[in-house]
Amino acid sequence: MYFDSLCAAFARLPQVEALALGGSRAGEQYDEKSDYDLYVYCTEVPQETVCRQILAESCSYMELGNRFWELEDDCVLRNGIPIDILYRSLSDFTRDVASVVEGHWAHNGYTTCMWHNLLHSKVLFDRNGAYRAAQERFDLPYPEQLRANIIRNNLRLLTKNLPSYDVQIKKAVARGDLVSVNHRTAAFLESYFDILFALNRMTHPGEKRMMTFLKAQADILPQDFEETLNALFASLFGAPQSVPGILDTLIHNLADILPEAYRDIERGETLCSCGSRNPMH
């Protein structure tokens, strides 16, 4: 009831082009306590006083104007369920998705997250049909050039280059810098999972339940995929001296499942450069 009322109020604002529900609530894998991820696509962000008035009707707690990642209001509905309300420009969002799907631009991890978000969000309101048109435009088979660019770019980040993550992590382990080990290992895994989703021609679902998605849907996974990752997590702070060897195993097992075109990783050859930029969250 509270969620529906809130959406109806936003839909009445003239600058709002579309409302889309993302996350688990957009599919079937959610329960009554699952959060709401509401995307408000607008030509102009509503004034904070307007948002506050709308949200006060349905929310018991509000944080307005958070900008840690995107512009969002983080609230709790009066029934106790959290809701994240993200404000976006549909034209900017579409352009970013196009740079990946049509321009084949590879990020450093999380490359196809926004494409996944677009395709898998549930349309709640679409004033002129622009959001559904974007979904139809990008409802395409996974581009092979994008797949190649993601794999090549992120392989170079994993290993065999001077600034590669494995090199950085091994140096951090040697100097006993656990903060750096943690930081660079997280970056390593961003690229590692980006490769696996691209290899399987799957759009990237985001930072949650990545192992679950791959185990359920991927046709190609490295040997001892889950076991090796769990060993890495167990060693990060309990036995950091084991981390370099586990990283080598992850890289070796990944190389074993790559098509021949990408086997440079095992030969230690420098791969050709391709576009990259910071990941989008």
Annotated domain spans of the chain = 2-137, 144-263
Among 181, 160, 208, residue whose Cα is nearest residue 37: 208
Q: What is the pLDDT along the chain (281 residues), one digit of tens a residue?
A: 899 999 999 999 999 999 999 876 655 565 666 789 999 999 999 999 999 999 999 999 999 999 999 999 999 999 999 999 999 999 999 999 999 999 999 999 999 999 999 999 999 999 999 999 999 999 999 999 999 999 999 999 999 898 999 999 999 999 999 999 999 999 999 999 999 999 999 999 998 889 999 999 999 999 999 999 999 999 999 999 999 999 999 999 999 999 877 765 554 444 343 444 433 33
Q: Which pLDDT value is given to residue 280?
A: 35
Name 21's bridge partners. Answer: 38, 122
- Domain 144-263, architecture per CATH: Up-down Bundle (1.20)
The CATH number given to 2-137 is 3.30.460.10
- Alpha-carbon gap, residue 158 to 231, rounded angstroms: 18
**CA–CA gap between residue 199 and residue 251 (Å, rounded):** 14
Tokens representing 272 are 């050709």
User: So what's the pLDDT on residue 276?
Assistant: 43
What is residue 42's DSSP assignment? Answer: E
Contact 66, 74 (CB under 8 A): yes
Q: Which residue has the tokens 């707690």?
A: 61
